[in-house]
Every structure is written in structure tokens, then in C-alpha cells.
Chain A
Amino acid sequence: MNRRVRAGLLLLAVLFASAALAPAISRHSPVDQPDVVRLQYAPPSWNHPLGTDFFSRDVLSRTLYGARISLSIACLSVLLSVTVGTMVGLGAGFAGSAVDAVLMRLVDAGLAIPRIFLLLVIAALWPRFSVTALILVLGLTSWFGTSRLVRAEVLSVRNREYVTASRVLGLGSSRIALRHVLPNVVAPILVAATLGVGNMILIEAGLSYLGFGVPQPTASLGNMIRDGQDALLRAPWVAITPGVFIIVTVLAFSVLSDGLRQASDPRSA
């Protein structure tokens, strides 16, 4: 394992652990409003290490619980998008000819629509997102690139001799595709997926910031920044804390993805 992979994994382990162990780290509930008058925008103190927001809610708690939501959304939607993208890419690359042409034109169409506008249109048509709906929407609008990538890899792998050899041995097509072709295209998928999680966190944050993402009072990193922007000078901790969390998380995913790419590239090994 190279240094970048190790650094990325370590950092992500810390971030994921802090999100998972949120109740143990912070005593406050993320939605409790203990004293809206006296504790509004309270600066960091012993009781509230990262201060409070407009509704006197604890920022540390909200960040950690928000990270839970944001990371879950990002990871699950990437899982969905990579699964769909891989299946489509594998199908197109392996079947070839007409199937390939139809699927890839579909992907072209999908890639031609700017994602954020697509998401805004969907959000406008479907005003209150549940978290599940958000995951579905994010996942199902982001698999186009993956399918392209997978298809390209499959096209190069399917003409390798061991694929012909497995055909000679009488293995069925789906078995060849899933057992002989797929494992040989995993490396680029993994790299893309890792980078995709970081990207998805940003998109979710952007959507929540615009008010189309995770609905209040549930905390997400994006809607916390939106909450904090009204008091950026008076109480900078409200927006900065989730902002820093986003930056560090995305950075960790980038480092990990870069490390994975390097590790899977034989020329740099």
C-alpha cells in the first residue's frame, strides 16, 4: 500500500469514526434548542466547544450528525451510481454493436445535461426531498461518466486471450462478463468511485446550501453553511466548522483516489 492510500484511509477513518461516534463525542442533541435567547450564536466555550447557531443548537453536534447524513448520502449515491454505471458499461462493452450504440447515445444525452440544473429541475418538481429520495436522485443522475469509463475498459479486456479462452472452454456469456471481464476493470472503477464520493459530498452540500437538499431541522454539512452565512461575521464558527469538515473530507478522498490510481498503474509501481 502506498503512502497516499495509507494517508487517505487514515484520515477517512478518523472522519468516519467521528461521524459514527457522534453521540459519544458530543453530549448535545443536534436539534435541541436549549435557550434561543441567551445561547443564540454563543461563541465556543467549554459546554459548546464550537459554539452554537441561531437557534442555540450545538455546532459540534450538528457538524458530526450532519457529517453522518452527508457522508451516508455521498457513499450510498456513489454506490448506486457506480453499480448502475458498471452494469451499463459492462453490458454495452460486452454486447457490442446495437446494444452498445443505443446505450452510449443515451449516455451522451445524459452527459450533455449540466448536472446541477438537472438536479434543480428535479428538486423543483419534487419539493420536499426525503434523504432516500436524494440518494436515488443523486445516484441515478451521475452514472453516465462511470459507464463510459467501464465500457472503454471492457472493450480492451474483452479481446484479451483469456476471454477467448474462457469462451473456448464453454463458459456462458454472463459468467465470462462477471467473472473474467469485471474483475479486470475494477481498478479504474475504484479510483473513479473514490473521487466520486468527494464530488458527491460537494454536490450534496451545494444542493442543501441552495435549499434543495436535506430538509431542516436535520443537519447536513450543506444546510449548516447556509444557516451560518447570515452570521458569517458575528458567528463565523457556524459556517466555518462544516466548511472545514467538507474540505478535509473531499481532500482525503482525493488523496486516496490518487493513491489508488497510482497503485493500480503498473508504470508507476
Chain B
Amino acid sequence: MTPLLSVRNLSVSFATPRGVARAVDDVSFDLLPGETLALVGESGCGKTVTALSLLKLIPEPPGRTDPRSRVEYAGTNVLALGGEALRQVRGGQIAMVFQEPTTSLNPVLTVGSQIAETVRAHRETDRAGARERAVGMMRLAGIPEPEERYGSYPHQLSGGLKQRIMIAIALSCEPRILIADEPTTALDVTIQAQIIELLSDLRKRLGLAVLLISHDLGLVAGIADRVAVMYAGRIVEEATTADLFARPRHPYTEGLLQAAPRVDRPQAALAAIPGSVPSATAWPSGCRFHPRCPHAWDRCIREEPGLLQAGATRSSRCWLVVEPERRRPATTAVTGTA
């Protein structure tokens, strides 16, 4: 299948007082039509910068997107677009939902007018038509009594309703791709479940491709078709969701899975990955995970592996793929103290 969105060699760096931070380094991935691809990783690994740079939203300076980076959508490189063409892609073709619905809505405008405004930015329609479309989108997003809610201000709505409004805004111009950056992190657990259900329902109904940015493995396991794991500005493992959760091939992914609580196993102390994420201004030599990796040997320190094919549909940035005998038995990860 031809990918809908094809990201190639995306590199984004930031000039900081402590040097150049290479937040995203040579990231490539494909998003197929109708699929949900999850981008997971811990805070500071470059997930959000990746998402923002897809729509040229990184402020430059201090940010800098490497000129070799390409974000191919429908045969054009989004990163080379500007002005009107870029405006049409944003919102019209690729839309985005943010983590915090409270700060993503303008406090002084009614929620309905914010939806209608987006509609009018992309379509030839009059005020009444935009309003009608906005109410329709609110209904689609599961907002009760959309006509009455149209004139509400953001502060009059709950967090869950506000996130529904954000989704309604994002989908109001029928984009083909939705980027959801931690769409449920700011919400209560019960509301999270509702929002996720809404997202997967809308995805099926509208045939959307979703790029889900998250650190919530439970959420990812539930709705993603494929998963790309990011660490230190790079994708370290990519696989279908089932494969990744059943047999992780990168030690970092293993660590992540062991660090997540599970209801299907007896309660035990959660494992932690030793050490902490290195600074983006000074990534370690060789494999960026080697200082924290239980299997690391001298090759890992000298030489960084590429994304090595580890099966028909998966790849892992780890030398263990080609030298599996180096894997140390029984050292899954250091067990944290309870």
C-alpha cells in the first residue's frame, strides 16, 4: 500500500545556551491510509517535536529543521510549502489535537465560533453554513445539545467536553490525517476511555489515518495498529502492535514494557530502566541507549546500529538483531525497590 504520509530523515535541532540540542535525529516512518501509528517514548525523547515539525510548527529560530528532511504528503514535501499552500494542508489535510484542551481553546471566543472559524478558513461557505457544519461536528463528536453548547465559552465546559470540541475542530474540514499529541493525558481515566472510544470510532467512520503520540502503553496497545518507539531523538524499534508487545526486540522497549503496570500479572514491584535520558545536547556515542542497556558490549559503544530488519514487518535499532548470542540471560532489567 502506498503510504499517505511519508517522513524521511527528519532532523530538528534547537540552539540552546548549552549547545545544539538535536531533539529529533534522522527519523523516518510511513503512515498508511486508515491506520493508527503510535509514537511512544518517555518525556524528552522527541515525540512532540516530531509531531510539530510535520506541520512546520517549530519556531525558527531557535529551532532548525535540517534541509534534507522530507515530509511527503500526496506527492509534495510539506516542509517546502509556505503561505497559502501550507495553510491548506494544515487543518484541511492534516489536523492535530493537543494534550491540554483547556489551553488549546481561545478563552475569549465561544467554542462554536472556533469550530465555524476553521470551517470558513478551508471552505467556501457563509456564516450560516459554517454554523450548521459546526453544530454537526459537535454532534459527531458526541457533544450533547450541540445547539446550546455552540455559544458556550471554554471555561463553561468540562475537560472531556473541551477535548471533544478540539476533536470536532480538528475534524471539521475532513482531514485525512489526525495527529493526536497525548490526547488524553490531561483527562480523568473514565473520560480518557470515552475520548479514546470516540477517536477510534471516528477513525473508522471517516477513514482517518491517525498518528498517536503517547507515553501510555495501555492506550497504545488498545488502539494502535503499529508502534514506533522513540528514544533520544531516534526511532529505536518499529513493529505491529501485537509483535511489539509480545516480543520486543529492543532492550529499551523491553524496559518500557516491564516498567508499565499490568492487570494480567500478579502485582510485583515495577521494573525501572536504570539511569536517565541523556541530554539532547550530548547524546552518547554509538548506540544512544548503551549506557542504560543491560546487554551492551564494546560494539555498542563504538558503533550505532541502523534500523535493522528483524522480521518481515519489523525493525530494531540494536546489534542484538545480528548478534543474538550476545544477549545476556536473565538480565531483563534491574528491579526497582518496592
Contacts and interface: CB of A to CB of B under 8 A. Distances in A.
A167 B169 CA distance: 12
B9 to A, nearest CB: 23
Contact of B121 (A162, A165, A170, A183): A170
B81 to A, nearest CB: 11
Contacts of A162: 103-107
Contacts of A180: 106, 109
A138 to B, nearest CB: 31
Interface string B89-101: 1111001101010
Of the candidates A168, A172, A175, A183, the one having the most CB atoms from chain B within 10 angstroms of its own CB is A168
Contact of B104 (A161, A170, A183): A161
Interface residues of B, number: 27
Contacts of A168: 55, 57, 90-91, 95-96
Of the candidates A162, A164, A169, the one having the most CB atoms from chain B within 10 angstroms of its own CB is A169
A161 B103 contact: yes
SS class, residues of chain A in contact with chain B: helix
Interface string A193-224: 00000000000000000000000000000000
Interface in B141-188: 166, 169-170, 173
Contacts of A161: 98, 100, 103-104
A245 to B, nearest CB: 37
A171 B121 contact: yes
SS class, residues of chain B in contact with chain A: mixed
B100 A170 contact: no
Given A161-B103, A180-B106, A167 B122 contact: no
Interface string A168-188: 111110010001100110000
A167 B58 CA distance: 11
Contacts of A167: 57, 90
B109 A179 contact: yes
Contacts of A130: none
* A-side interface size class: 10 to 19
Interface string B313-338: 00000000000000000000000000
Nearest to A169: B91
B87 A171 contact: yes
B103 A160 contact: yes
Interface of A: 160-162, 164-172, 175, 179-180, 183-184
Closest 5 CB pairs of A and B: A170-B91, A170-B90, A169-B91, A161-B103, A183-B108
17 contacts: A160-B103, A162-B107, A164-B98, A164-B104, A165-B96, A165-B104, A167-B57, A167-B90, A168-B91, A169-B90, A170-B88, A171-B91, A172-B87, A175-B117, A179-B109, A183-B108, A184-B108
